[in-house]
Chain A
Amino acid sequence: MSKTEAFTGADAASEAMRQINPDVVAAYPITPQTPIVMKFSQFVADGEVDTEMIRVESEHSAMSACVGASAAGARAMTATASAGLALMWEILGVASGSRLPIVMNVVNRALSAPINIHCDHSDSMGARDISWIQIYSENAQEVYENTILAIKLAEHPDVHLPVMVCQDGFITSHGIQNVKIFDDNKIREFLGERKPIKALLNVKDPVTMGPLQLQDYYFETKKQQDIAMQNAKKTYLEVGKALSGITGNTYDFVEAYNLDDAEVVVVTLNSTAGTVKSVVDKMKSTGKKVGLLKIKLFRPFPYEKVAQLLENKRAVAILDRSESFGADAPIYGELKNALYNANNKPKLQSYIFGLGGRDIYEEDIESVFNDLISNNIDPNKRYIGVRE
């Protein structure tokens, strides 16, 4: 049994959290918090979940409380955006370094300064090397399903790492869409209860988590952490396959849209992938060989899969909604890495777009495709819509 609801991306995240029924949610209750936590608090107040809701004084504390809860053996979740994620920074590393399977919905929004509350990916892309798995969602439906998948992935014994489920600020988080919601019992049965490998509250098996490790052991612990991140790829596919049994949808590292026939390809993630699909449909109808590669799993990054899908293409444009100042933009850099060993490398063009919520239109994407088709490609970053 499933039902269709008119949900924003934020609603979709809180609905997933309601079904997950986490033991603990710790969250900062005011801006830059999103409606995810507002709606989830209502579920708590109405007794629809059994969650212990901890309202804390900062995001640093929110993640700290999640770390404590998760270490104790609880299933812990939170949500944040923008500056909130930035303030969590120190504890993000504590969560992943301590191998705690916390799941957090991130609504992607710009970082200060200048002050801006609108969509871009600077927040989560800034946290791409802190050993959190990152799943990006095109729309509210994906937010809902990815959040459920994330719990199972995070808690898998081969992984045991925290997961961020990302969605575009306002565009997805506040835009209402039809979202198919699956049966509570089926989702709960799929997830089961968390079975922690070790738990601080298990007095029969005492452990210390997050202790001092100096020159003698820290390095081994980090190596172990990277292996877990690599394992997460295989587990992501396995968990995705199991979830398909309920949803009927597929969970690959990427979504290939009209890619087989395409000679030129746009690569992006989150909501802009939806806009690209619309442009692909339009251009395809006029005989243009264009396609989209949407990245869903950004950490760990699916290098082999991306290389396999893009080698032999003529040209690829990578659309990043965040900067890496003085360096290659985050997605572009990964694509270039992925294709280094490819036999037949496509030409690559980096585009930065949409910083601070600047809109991107179908015409902009069409002109990107036309650049690729006419071989108008150079090694420099290009900025879509920036005034000179």
Chain B
Amino acid sequence: MTEKKGWKEIPLGGMICEAGSSSKFKTGDWKSFRPIWNKEKCTQCMMCVVYCPEDCIPRKDDKRLETDLSVCKGCGICKEICPVKCIEMKEEGASDE
């Protein structure tokens, strides 16, 4: 973490003077459920990718990859929208079975 700036140095009214800075803000640390993706069952329909409000399901070569958990808030929309039920939400801290 760089040293924090004083009031004389920061932009007016808390303004952020760069584009796309929200990608630096990790929103994944407050989720209480995490999505568990069953890769085998998945049909790659991309519904979860489109519906994810945080845009945290990466894609490569028209295939979805593992959810980026550093950004995922655990809302469960991917699970709800999945037509083949290949995503389940698991409570954070629950024991692995």
Quick check: B4 and A216 within 8 Å, CB to CB? yes
A217: chain B residues at CB < 8 Å are 4, 10, 14
Report if A211-B12 is in contact (Cβ < 8 Å); known contacts: A220-B7, A223-B7.
no
Closest to A205 in B: B17
Q: Which secondary structure dominates where chain B touches chain A?
A: loop
- Cα–Cα distance between A207 and B8 once the two chains are bound (Å): 18
A210 close to B (CB within 8 Å): yes
Q: Counting CB contacts under 8 A, is A327 at the interface?
A: no
Check if B18 sits within 8 Å of A206, measured CB to CB.
yes
Provide the residues of chain B in CB contact with A205, threshold 8 Å: 17
Q: How far is the CA of A209 from the CA of B13 in the complex (A)?
A: 8
Q: Which of B4, B7, B17 contacts A221 (CB under 8 A)?
A: B7
A224→B15 contact, CB < 8 A: no
State whether A198 touches B12 (Cβ < 8 A): yes
Interface string of A198-215 (1 = CB under 8 A from B): 100000011111110100
Whether A210 lies near B13 (C-beta < 8 A) is yes
Interface residues on B, range: 10 to 19
**Does A98 contact B13, Cβ atoms closer than 8 Å?**
yes
Contact B18–A221 (Cβ < 8 Å):
no
Our pick among A216, A221, A223 for the contact of B13 (Cβ within 8 Å) is: A221
Q: Does A97 contact B13, Cβ atoms closer than 8 Å?
A: yes
Chain A contact patch, size range = 20 to 34
Say if the beta carbon of B23 comes within 8 Å of chain A. no
In the complex, how many angstroms separate the beta carbon of A119 from the nearest chain B beta carbon? 33
Q: Given the complex, which residues of A lie within 8 Å of B13, measured CB to CB?
A: 97-100, 160, 209-210, 221, 224-225
Do A208 and B12 touch across chains, with their CB atoms under 8 A apart?
no
Asked if B11 is an interface residue, CB under 8 A from chain A, the answer is yes
CB neighbors of B among A179-229 (8 A): 197-198, 205-211, 213, 216-218, 220-221, 223-225, 227
Query: Contact: B7 with A209, CB < 8 Å?
Result: no
Encode contact with B along A86-110: 1 for CB under 8 Å, 0 otherwise. Answer: 0000000000011110000000000
A197 touches B12 (CB 8 A): yes
If A217-B10, A221-B10, A224-B10 touch, does A209 touch B4 (CB 8 Å cutoff)?
no
Task: Tell me the nearest residue of chain A to B18, going by C-beta.
Answer: A206
Give the CA-CA distance A197 to B16 in the complex, in Å: 13
Interface of A is mostly: loop
- Residues in A with CB closer than 8 Å to B7 are 220-221, 223-224, 227
**Contact at B5–A220, with CB atoms within 8 Å?**
yes
Q: Which residues of B contact A99 (CB under 8 A)?
A: 12-13
Name the B residues within 8 Å of A218 (CB-CB). 14
* Residues in B whose Cβ lies below 8 Å from that of A227: 7
Q: Is A198 touching B14 in the complex (CB atoms < 8 A)?
A: no
**B15–A198 touching, CB < 8 Å:** yes
B56 CB to closest chain A CB, in angstroms?
18
A16 CB to closest chain B CB (Å) equals: 26
Give A98 to B15 CA distance when docked, in angstroms: 8
- Chain B 19-63 per-residue mask, 1 if CB under 8 angstroms from chain A, else 0: 101000000000000000000000000000000000000000000
A197–B11 alpha-carbon span in the complex (Å): 10
With a CB–CB cut-off of 8 A, which chain B residues contact A206? 18-19
Query: Could you tell me which residues of chain B, from 56 to 81, have a CB within 8 Å of some CB in chain A?
Result: none
Docked-complex contact B10 and A207, CB < 8 angstroms: no
Most chain A CB neighbours (cut-off 10 Å) among B4, B6, B7, B17: B7
Q: Using A160-B12, A207-B16, A224-B12 as known contacts, list a sample of 4 further A-B pairs with CB atoms less than 8 Å apart, ordered by residue number in A.
A: A98-B14, A208-B15, A221-B14, A225-B13
Please, could you name 18 A-B residue pairs with CB atoms under 8 Å apart, sorted by A?
Answer: A97-B14, A98-B13, A98-B15, A99-B12, A99-B13, A100-B13, A197-B12, A198-B11, A198-B12, A198-B15, A206-B18, A210-B13, A211-B15, A211-B16, A217-B10, A217-B14, A220-B7, A221-B14
Which 4 interchain pairs have the tightest Cβ spacing?
Answer: A99-B13, A206-B19, A220-B7, A208-B16
Chain B interfacial positions (CB closer than 8 Å to A): 4-8, 10-19, 21
Which A residues lie at the B interface, using CB under 8 A? 97-100, 160, 197-198, 205-211, 213, 216-218, 220-221, 223-225, 227
